A and B are shown apart, each in its own frame.
Chain A
Amino acid sequence: MYPEDLHYTKQHEWVRVVAGESVVGITDYAQQQLGDIVYVDLPRAGTALEQGKVMGSVESVKAVSDIYAPVSGEVIEINDALATAPEKLNQSPHADGWLIKIKLSAPDEIAGLLSAADYEKYVAEEETGH
């Protein structure tokens, strides 16, 4: 269920590493936990992100959740479609519902992220309440 080519964080973001512009999003588990997503607040293009720091927020009907930058780098592009169709995050979190494209400033950080298998195991532990 979690694509093998993505790298994951324990805060439920993912990164797809592409030369020049990597893609960042939130995971299927994250969107399920949030429920119907109605609003997404993203950093502007040009913003310098630092790994682990809040880069934006996503709001469901019920609640607001921060999104943390899974890697450091400069925001190149944001997914404008989410402004009018935030439900894409529920429908396609690992593809159409991507959040931002980013130019990595510390590619070494990728090695510290979780593989799909490790992330799936982590989520299973979360769900059973540890």
Chain B
Amino acid sequence: MAAETLKTTALHTVHREMGAKMVDFGGWDMPLQYSGILDEHRAVRSGVGLFDVSHMGEIEIHGPDAAALTDYVTTNAVAKLQPGQAQYSGLLYEHGGFVDDILVHKVAGDRYFLCVNASNQEKDYEHIAHASRLHATVEFASDRYSQLAIQGPRAIATLQKLATADLAAFGYYHFVDDEIATIPARIARTGYTGEDGFEIYFAPENSEHVWNAILDAGQEFDIKPCGLGARNTLRLEAGMALYGHDIHATITPLEAGLAWIVKLDKGDFIGRAALARQKEHGVTRKLTGFEMTGRGIGRDDYEVYVDGQPAGWVSSGGPSPTLNKNIGMCYLPAGYSKPGQRIQIVIRNQPVEAVTVSTPFYKRTN
């Protein structure tokens, strides 16, 4: 694997210099870990962690019909958004499967800002641009943004030192266009860890300045640079879906437990007819949380048995550093998806006992 062929973020050199262990993540050379996944995971749960997530994509939709187009290509209700508000949503195919899961930010009535998954960004752009028969411009904007995630109970205290806006004045899933360490930045109170925190978007040429300013500001809270390893264990504990694992082109939001981002009564949108049919007939399989009761770790793609018969597969699984258990999410026939169902995860040809549980596995108390 030659590093030259991988895509890199503006902070690539910084990661290497800081001694991060790098990994090929969907074609991007990204930090897997710095001090260690467990150490970084704990920092985010108890203090604050800083992630470079500049591999994520950005798409901007603007023009008189920007709202109508955004609403037509996404599952959630764009009309309910106020300027400065964000929502989690799905981009679907006509058949109801996921093109991607995304964040929609309403910048203004005629301007929407989408944050999309790294490995899906070109596909998402094509999908949206192809759907546009309206007076709206769809712009592939990933090259214009770096994205950092500042996550943990001390994220707000860290970032407040560098912002001019009062960050406590806006709540979860709201954002403000302000600045961080004098650099213009979009500051959104969103995240993928199950903690309070922020995701910020700004011009890539300022990446090193902003990264270092945040590390300095967070020093008194023992801020840790974090990699994608901790990002994955954190989001799994929070029961958040990962594209390519828990959701993908042949999984619908109703199967993935994401009915709350589907607004069938909002008017037509791509995938609506398929979802309406599926809702009427009922879903046959459901994304279900589990924890291991036997010795072993259920991991992605392992088979799941019920009463000795093949019943499904693990979509995401691994150790939970916070709960000190081995947890995961799996697809099971709807009849087996209630909490308390005994299941077996096949680990290296051996069925190991597990039990279904409700998600999220971890919910913050602060």
Contacts and interface: CB of A to CB of B under 8 A. Distances in A.
B191 interface: no
Contacts of B321: 61
B302 to A, nearest CB: 10
A66 to B, nearest CB: 9
A35 B36 contact: yes
A36 B297 contact: no
A86 to B, nearest CB: 10
Contacts of B297: 38-39, 59, 64
Nearest to B3: A129
A36 B296 contact: no
B21 interface: yes
B348 A57 contact: yes
B296 A61 contact: no
Of B232, B296, B319, B326, most buried by chain A (CB within 10 Å of CB) is: B319
A39 B299 CA distance: 13
Interface in A41-72: 41, 57, 59-62, 64
Interface in B87-118: none
A60 B39 CA distance: 13
Given A39-B319, A57-B348, A62 B296 contact: no
Interface residues of B, number: 18
Contacts, number: 35
A38 B292 CA distance: 14
B299 A61 contact: no
B319 A61 contact: yes
B37 A36 contact: yes
B296 A39 contact: yes
Nearest to B232: A62
B229 A62 contact: yes
A61 B38 contact: yes
Contact of B33 (A35, A41, A59): A35
Interface string A2-46: 000000000000000000000000000000000110110100000
Contacts of A41: 296, 348
Contacts of B9: none
A62 B37 contact: yes
A61 B21 contact: no
Contacts of B232: 62
13 contacts: A35-B32, A36-B37, A36-B39, A38-B319, A39-B296, A39-B297, A41-B348, A60-B37, A61-B37, A61-B38, A62-B318, A64-B297, A64-B299
Interface of B: 21, 32-33, 36-39, 229, 232-233, 296-297, 299, 318-319, 321, 326, 348
